[in-house]
């Protein structure tokens, strides 16, 4: 696997080694030993999630204040723009975001450590996203920051979201969000 650093020191783009021929392709989407060797992280996942979104749907910026989750995100159909926002006050990257295009074609994965908010925008119809989490979902602990907060200045590839959940419409501005030490 190839690990690419982003402009936020702890967020990583992971490119798996893909074996492709006239039959199709094969790659390991997760291998704990190779992960540890390539990243230096000893990561344990406890839950897998799968979502489908149509063009322009935005999901996020989500995070949990208990059962704080690290996430390894990949796309198995279509394309998304994936965003991580650092919520750790002790981090030199606090309040900064980074984004990456993930697609079924590029097979890239984005590692988002615990202490970050996460969002993505579907750039194609029928974008399917799979992500592993390091802790379980806790509805009572989930929080949402406004995806289009002007103070964050996230450079979304599409000018507006076509569909938002009620939860995401009710997100708080970053300046009012609960953050981590």
User: Which residues are part of the catalytic machinery?
Assistant: 62, 131
Q: What are 163's two structure tokens?
A: 């569909």
Q: Contact, 132 vs 69, CB < 8 A?
A: no
Q: Cα–Cα distances in Å, from 67 out to 2, 134, 139, 173? A: 29, 9, 10, 22
CA dihedral (35, 67, 117, 55) positive or negative:
positive
Q: Contact, 58 vs 121, CB < 8 A?
A: yes
């Amino acid at each position: 696997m190839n690990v690419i650093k982003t402009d936020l020191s702890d967020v990583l783009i992971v490119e798996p080694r893909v074996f492709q021929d006239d039959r199709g392709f094969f790659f390991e989407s997760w291998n704990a030993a190779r992960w540890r060797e390539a990243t230096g992280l000893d990561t344990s996942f406890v839950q897998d999630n799968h979502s489908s979104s149509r063009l322009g749907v935005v999901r996020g910026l989500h995070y949990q204040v208990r059962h704080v989750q690290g996430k390894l995100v990949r796309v198995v159909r279509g394309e998304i723009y994936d965003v991580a926002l650092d919520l750790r006050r002790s981090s030199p990257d606090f309040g900064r975001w980074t984004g990456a295009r993930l697609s079924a074609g590029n097979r890239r994965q984005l590692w988002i450590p615990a202490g970050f908010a996460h969002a993505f925008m579907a750039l194609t119809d029928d974008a399917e996203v799979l992500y592993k989490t390091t802790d379980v979902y806790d509805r009572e602990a989930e929080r949402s920051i406004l995806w289009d907060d002007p103070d964050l200045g996230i450079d979304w590839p599409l000018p507006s979201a076509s569909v938002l959940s009620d939860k995401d419409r009710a997100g708080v501005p970053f300046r009012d969000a609960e953050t981590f030490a």
